[in-house]
Amino acid sequence: MEGAYAKSWSAKMKADLRTELDLLNGNVIEMIGLLKCAADAGIWTRQEAARHERRLALLRTKLNADFRELMALRERASGLQLSAQSADPITK
């Protein structure tokens, strides 16, 4: 049962992380829209807004890449754990 529990917990954690990342991506898109509105209203110059937009886009790109890397590492670790368990004569 422990393996099944760990597997479902991992799937839930992955889904939760994906949801949070999707929310973050949506928030970044919304913030970029606000930057454009601020530039249109004269609060910031277009150059200032563009600089902040690039920083937000870079942050989003890095977070998405980190998420993909984390999920790949977790899946590889899970695969190695399953291989080790199947090779262990005690757990058979």
Q: What is the spatial distance between Cα 25 and Cα 56, in angstroms, rounded to a whole number?
A: 10
pTM for the predicted model, two decimal places = 0.65
Q: What is the spatial distance between Cα 2 and Cα 8, in angstroms, rounded to a whole number?
A: 10
Q: Where are the domains of the chain?
A: 21-87
Q: What angle do CA 21, 78, 13 make, to 5 degrees?
A: 30
The answer to whether 28 touches 59, Cβ cutoff 8 Å, is yes
Query: Over its length of 92 residues, how does the chain's per-residue pLDDT go in tens digits?
Result: 445 545 555 778 878 888 988 998 999 999 999 999 999 999 999 999 999 999 999 999 998 998 888 888 878 877 766 666 666 666 55
